[in-house]
Amino acid sequence: MSSPAIDADISPYDRLKALGVSLPPAPSPIANFVTHIQEGNMLYLSGQGPREVDGFMHTGKVGGNVTVEEAYKHARLTGINLLAVMQSALGDLGRVKRVVKLLGMVNAVPDFADHPSVINGCSDLLIDVFGEAGNHARSAVGFGSLPGNITVEIEAIIALKD
């Protein structure tokens, strides 16, 4: 789903609009932590899940009652929530210098082996929104469970412009 070439002069907001994506308000933490920490020119984003604007959370086991295609969409939604947290933290997505690293966690059945295809939902979105600066290092791993039985959780590390 990733665009082959994206003009570096196009703002992240124009790219979001072209993708038909409206950023929701940043989701609130579900426990005793904050959504982000900025240290110097680095922004560390806590894990986000596939929460819809109305609060509905997508749940289930990937490879069981959730398909890879469905989970890809859940990872994309999780990426939108990460962008919402970035927007809230920074006030302007134009401050993003680079997406440095993602950790993608998939709530999967024990024999599931296609975790990267699921987390591509978030990776593809970030590349679509930030162009070359959206390319990142990444881990995509499986878990026996995630909070609230959500299908995916993704955290990110972002480098900021000076």
Q: What residue segments make up the domains of the chain, in order of their start?
A: 12-24+32-160
pLDDT single digits (tens) 1-14 = 444 444 567 899 99
pLDDT single digits (tens) 93-146 = 999 999 999 999 999 999 999 999 999 999 999 999 999 999 999 999 999 999
Q: b/e per residue, 124-135, with b = 16+ CB within 10 A?
A: bbbbbbbbebbe
What DSSP line would sit under 110-136, residue for residue? TT---HHHHHHHHHHHHHHHHGGGG--
pTM across the whole model: 0.94
What DSSP line would sit under 39-78, residue for residue? ETTEEEEEEE--B-TTS-B-BS-BTTTB-HHHHHHHHHHH
CATH H-level, domain 12-24+32-160: superfamily: RutC-like (3.30.1330.40)
